Structure 1
C-alpha cells in the first residue's frame, strides 16, 4: 500500500536519482480528490441537486381515485367511483381530467347519476398568477444549487490555501535541515583537520576546543531542525488521504522539488493586482454565493407580494356523458359544463404586509453583507500583494547578503590557511553565512505561501 501511495503522488524519477519528489500541483490534486473536507463539499452539491428534484415534485402529475359505497338495511344508498388526473403547469394553471360513476337510490341531487366524464382547468387571476409556492421553491432550489457550487469552491479555496501553507512549511524545514547538515559536515571535517594539525604541532591545542565547540553547536542545531522537519512532515500528512478514506502519512523518503524548479510554478499564477481584483469581483465564490442568496431572497419577495393580492381562482369543467370525455368543439357556456369562482381576501392584510416588509429587509441586510465582503476581499488581496512585492525585494537583498557572507567565509579560510586568522573568526563567519542561508530559505518559502494565499484571497486558487 505504501509503494502504491508513493506512485500515486505523480512523483518524478530520473534514470540516475530514484528519490521520490512531491510537487505542489500533484499535492493539490491529492487533496482535492481524497481529503474529507473536499468530499463533504461535493456531497453538499449533490444534496442541493436532490433538493431541485424535490422541488420539481410540485409539478408532477397526480393520479387519484376516490371510491365510496353505502348500504344500510338492505338498501343501496350510493356507490361512487371517481378517478382523476391533475396536471399542474408552470404558470399556476392546473389541468385535470376525470370520470365519475354514481349509482344508488339516495344520492346527492347536485351529483349526476350514471357514468360521466370531464376535462377542466383552474386559472388564478390575481394571487399566484405570476408566481406561487411551487414555482418559488423550484427557483430557490436552483439558486441553492448554484450557491452550493460556490460554497464548494470557497471551501476548496480555503482548504488549498491551508494545504499549501503546510506544504511550503515542509519545504522550508527540509531545506533548512540540509543547510545545517552541510555546515555540520564541514565542522566535523574541520575538527579532524585541527586534531591532526595539533598532533603535528602546527596548531595550538585550544583550536581543538574551538572546532569541537562549533561542531557541537551545529550538532544541537541539527537535532532541533530535524525535529522541525519531522513535525512539518506530520503537519503535511494531515492533508494526505487515500481513496478509502484512510489517512496516509507522508513517507520519509519523499522530498520536495528542487529550488531551481520553483519559478516554473509562477508561470500559471496570476500576480497582477488589477487582474486579481477584477477576477475576484467577477467570480469570487464568496461574492457569487451572496449574489445567489440575494436572488433567492428576491424570489421570496415576489412570493410574499402575492399575499397582498386577493385570491381569485376561476375553474371550468367540460362535462360529457359516458366514461370517455368528449373532444368535440362547442360553446363553453352552452350545455354540459360546470364552472366556479373563488374569491378570498384578508381585510387588513396584516400578515401579507409584514411578510413582504421582512422579505425586503432581508435583501437589504444581505446587500450590506455583500458590500462588506467585497471590501474585505479587496483589502486582503491588496495586503497579500504588498507582502509578495516586499518579499521579492527582501529575497534579492538576502541573496546578495548571503553571497557576501560566503565570500567572507572563503576569505577568512584563506587567511586562516596563511596563519593570519583564527578558528573563532571562521566559525563566526560560517555561523553568519548559515543564518543568512536559512533566512533566505525562509523568505522564499514565505513568498510562495503568500503567493498561494494571494490566489486564495482572489478566489482563483481552484
Structure 2
C-alpha cells in the first residue's frame, strides 16, 4: 500500500478543471443507459406479454351461431344460438346459451321455438389434472421468472466487461502520468547538463547520455498516450445517454486514482461459494428450466390416459333456464353425452413422455456441470486474487528499494561521485518496477471483480 503512494508522488496533480469518474459512477451509467442493459429489460417485458397471452386461454368467449334459409317462397329453417363459454381452472368449461329455431324443414333433433340451456364440458381422464391450456399458463409464469434471471445474467456479464475496461483505463492513465513526470525530470536534467557542458564542467558524452534518456522517456510517453487514448475510446463504448446516443468521454474526465490503489476486501470462500450456488442467475435459470420441463412431463403423462369427455346440459323452454326448477327438470329436461377415445398402442404418448423424462435428466446433468464450473471459477479467481495481492506486496517493497537506490545515486551524482549512466540505469529500474506494479494492480482489480462476476453478484 505504501509503495503505491511513492508512485502516486510521481503523478501530476490534477488540474482544478479535471473531473474524476470513479468506478461506481461509471457502472451506474452503464447499468442505466447501456443498450444491452435495456435490451435485457425488454426480454422481461416480452415474457410478461407471453404470460398475458397464456392467460387468454381462460378468457370467457361469447359466440353466436345463426343461419337462415328461404327458397321459392318457403321458410326452410332459421337458427339463432348465442352462447357464453367460460373456461375454468379445473379444466371444465361452463356453457350457457339460448336458442330460437323454426322453419318448415327444421332438423328433427332441433327443438323449435325459444329454449335455453346451462351445461358443462369436463374431462374425467386425460386433461383432468393438467391440460395444454393450464400447462401453457404455468410455463409462461416460469419463463417470466426465468427471463428475470437471464436479465441479471446479461447485466452481470456487461458490468464485468465494464469493470475490466475501467481498470485498464485507470492503469493506462497512471502509466502515462508516470512517464510524463520522468520526461519532465529528464528535460530539466538535460538542460542542466547542457549548461554544465557549455561551462566546461561536463563532457560531451554526458549531454548525449542525458539526451538519449530524454528521448527514451519521450518515446514511451507517446506509446502510453496512444494506449490511454485507445482505452478511453473503448471506455466510451460503454457510455450512453438517456436518449440512447453514444457519449464520448471528454478529455478533462480522469479515472479515480485513489480507488485504483486501494485493496479490496476478499470474501470468505465458504460464503461466496454459497452465494454463487444459490443466487447466481446462470444457475437459477436452470432451476426454472427444470420446473418448466416438469410441467411438460406432467402434461405428457396425461397423454397416456384415455380421452373421456363428459358433456351435460340443463334444458328449458323459453329464455330462462331456471324456470320451473324442480326434480322433474332433472328427469326430463337434459342433454348429456360422453366422448371416449383411446389409442391402442399409445406409441405417440409413450414416446413423448419418455422424451420429456430424458430432457429433465439431460438438464440435470447440465446443471451439475454448471454448478461445478461456477464453483471452480470462484475458487480460481479467489486464489488468483490472493496471489496477485502477495505479488503486489513484493513489488511495492522492491519499488521502495529501487527508489532509495535512485535517490542515493542522485546524491552521488550531484557530489560528482557517480555518472549519468548509473543515474539513468537506476531510473530505468524504478520505471520498470512501477510498470510492473501498475500491471499487477490492473490484474488484481480485474481478478477481484471476476470473483463477483463468477458468483453472479454484479447487478
Is the 2:167–2:260 Cα contact (8 Å) retained in structure 1?
A: no
Matching residue within 334, 339, 342 for 1:342: 339
Q: Which residue of 2 aligns with 1:450?
A: 447
Is the 1:123–1:313 Cα contact (8 Å) retained in structure 2?
A: yes
CA deviation after TM superposition for structure 1 residue 272, in Å: 2.2
Measure the CA separation in 2 of the matches of 1:442 and 1:262. Answer: 12
The yes-or-no answer on 1:274 pairing with 2:273 is no
Matches within 5 A, 1:188-199: 188-199=187-198
* Greater mean deviation of Cα atoms: 336-345 or 46-55: 336-345
Q: Which residue of 2 aligns with 1:427?
A: 424
Q: Which residue of 2 aligns with 1:313?
A: 309
Q: 1:211 to 1:124 in 2, by over 3 A?
A: same
The yes-or-no answer on 1:283 pairing with 2:279 is yes
| Residues 417-454 of structure 1: CA deviation (Å, up to 9, x unaligned) | 12111100000001100111121112112211111111
CA deviation after TM superposition for structure 1 residue 335, in Å: 2.1
CA deviation after TM superposition for structure 1 residue 330, in Å: 3.4
Measure the CA separation in 2 of the matches of 1:398 and 1:259. Answer: 18
Matches within 5 A, 1:47-196: 47-196=46-195
Measure the CA separation in 1 of the matches of 2:239 and 2:189. Answer: 42
| Residues 260-290 of structure 1: CA deviation (Å, up to 9, x unaligned) | 57538x46xx622211110011111111111
Measure the CA separation in 2 of the matches of 1:262 and 1:58. Answer: 59
Is the 1:294–1:366 Cα contact (8 Å) retained in structure 2?
A: yes
Q: Which residue of 2 aligns with 1:4?
A: none
Is the 1:84–1:98 Cα contact (8 Å) retained in structure 2?
A: yes
Q: 1:429 to 1:262 in 2, by over 3 A?
A: closer
SS in 2 for 1:415: helix
Q: 1:224 to 1:124 in 2, by over 3 A?
A: same
Measure the CA separation in 2 of the matches of 1:180 and 1:100. Answer: 93
CA deviation after TM superposition for structure 1 residue 328, in Å: 6.3
Measure the CA separation in 2 of the matches of 1:375 and 1:62. Answer: 50
Measure the CA separation in 2 of the matches of 1:257 and 1:245. Answer: 26
Q: 1:174 to 1:261 in 2, by over 3 A?
A: closer
Give the alignment's Cα RMSD to 1 decimal.
1.6
Q: Which residue of 1 aligns with 2:456?
A: 459
Is the 1:179–1:438 Cα contact (8 Å) retained in structure 2?
A: no
SS in 2 for 1:21: strand
Is the 2:316–2:323 Cα contact (8 Å) retained in structure 1?
A: no
Matches within 5 A, 1:192-231: 192-231=191-230
Q: Which residue of 2 aligns with 1:355?
A: 352
The yes-or-no answer on 1:247 pairing with 2:243 is no
SS in 1 for 2:332: coil
Q: Which residue of 1 aligns with 2:7?
A: none
Q: Which residue of 1 aligns with 2:433?
A: 436
The yes-or-no answer on 1:263 pairing with 2:262 is yes
CA deviation after TM superposition for structure 1 residue 17, in Å: 2.8
CA deviation after TM superposition for structure 1 residue 313, in Å: 1.2
SS in 1 for 2:119: strand
Measure the CA separation in 2 of the matches of 1:325 and 1:333. Answer: 12
Q: Which residue of 2 aligns with 1:330?
A: 326
Measure the CA separation in 2 of the matches of 1:262 and 1:203. Answer: 41
SS in 2 for 1:334: helix
Measure the CA separation in 1 of the matches of 2:259 and 2:137. Answer: 54
CA deviation after TM superposition for structure 1 residue 124, in Å: 1.1
CA deviation after TM superposition for structure 1 residue 250, in Å: 1.4
Is the 1:237–1:249 Cα contact (8 Å) retained in structure 2?
A: yes
| Residues 52-88 of structure 1: CA deviation (Å, up to 9, x unaligned) | 0010010000000110111122111111100000000
| Residues 191-210 of structure 1: CA deviation (Å, up to 9, x unaligned) | 01111222222222211111
User: How many aligned residue pairs are there?
Assistant: 445
TM-score normalised by L of structure 1: 0.94
Measure the CA separation in 2 of the matches of 1:208 and 1:70. Answer: 116
CA deviation after TM superposition for structure 1 residue 327, in Å: 6.5
TM-score normalised by L of structure 2: 0.94
Q: Which residue of 2 aligns with 1:295?
A: 291
Q: Which residue of 2 aligns with 1:6?
A: none
Measure the CA separation in 1 of the matches of 2:96 and 2:310. Answer: 16
CA deviation after TM superposition for structure 1 residue 97, in Å: 0.6
CA deviation after TM superposition for structure 1 residue 114, in Å: 0.5
Is the 1:55–1:138 Cα contact (8 Å) retained in structure 2?
A: yes
Q: Which residue of 2 aligns with 1:394?
A: 391
* Greater mean deviation of Cα atoms: 312-321 or 425-434: 312-321
| Residues 162-204 of structure 1: CA deviation (Å, up to 9, x unaligned) | 1111111100000000111111111011001111222222222
CA deviation after TM superposition for structure 1 residue 243, in Å: 1.9
SS in 1 for 2:344: coil
Measure the CA separation in 2 of the matches of 1:199 and 1:263. Answer: 47
